[in-house]
Amino acid sequence: MQLTEKENFEFNQILRDYMYDDNVQKMKDYYQHGVVSTYDHVINVSKVCFYLNRRWNLHLKENDLVVGAFLHDFYLYDWHAKDNNTHRLHGFRHPFFAARNAVKYFNVGPRVADIILTHMWPLTILSFPKTREAFLVSMVDKYCSAHETLLQRRRRISICK
């Protein structure tokens, strides 16, 4: 998947208030899948969502889609660390922590918070996506996670450039 130069600019404009925030930058210190940092993972998910919305003419609310995708794993801890119990039930619990942080640090609205809270569906069977944006983020998160886990174990490569 390749974004045009113009699309890369527009993508970066949507996230300009988020990408360089000190708390967001902490995501670079935590690893999501293999050698892929949480920050790189959320960039991958955001770009793929942005790309699909444009290429498939989905007409989704682009700002909510991209911001929700970018903050969907904004939980700010190392879930692999066994000494602080965050690894226990991480898949079920981290959407709550990510949404809480997104509201706390960026005052995101209910639509973006819902994208974050429901991105682990169907694992979190009762937290199902209520919007098309949330459904797309949930599906793209699974795609990117599988790609990162299976194909990016040894080197960092971007799914969408």
- CATH of the domain spanning 5-151: 1.10.3210
Residues of the chain with pLDDT under 50: none
Tokens of 152: 């990016």
pLDDT of residue 35: 78
Residue pair 53/62 in contact (Cβ under 8 Å)? The answer is: yes
DSSP bridge partners of 31: 37
pLDDT of residue 76: 66
pLDDT of residue 115: 98
**Residue 33, φ and ψ in degrees, nearest 5:** -135, 110
pLDDT of residue 3: 95
